[in-house]
Amino acid sequence: MIKIDVDMNKCQHYGQCVFEAPEVFQLNADDKLEYQAEAPDEMLGDLEAAADVCPMQAITLMRE
């Protein structure tokens, strides 16, 4: 499993991560980011892409 953390103090809710990994990241009705705290290893590529495109570099990934 991959643990996902988004520093909500850095996150500006641009939503670029949503395009890379929509199964994990979503914008809610108020356009605020929501995300799952864990994802399967098979999603590593999409999650790394999401972390890379984050303009605020607010996403941290950790493998268990």
CATH number of the CATH domain containing 44: 3.30.70.20
pLDDT of amino acid 27:
97
Structural domain count of the chain: 1
pLDDT band with cut points at 50, 70 and 90 for residue 64: confident
- What DSSP assignment string belongs to the chain? -EEEEE-TTT-----HHHHH-TTTEEE-TTS-EEE-SEE-GGGHHHHHHHHHH-TT--EEEEE-
Q: Are strands 25-27 and 33-35 parallel, antiparallel or unpaired?
A: antiparallel
How far is it, in rounded angstroms, from Cα 24 to Cα 57? 17
pLDDT tens for residues 1-58?
A: 999 999 999 999 999 999 999 999 999 999 999 999 999 999 999 999 999 999 999 9
Q: Domain of residue 53: give its range.
A: 2-63
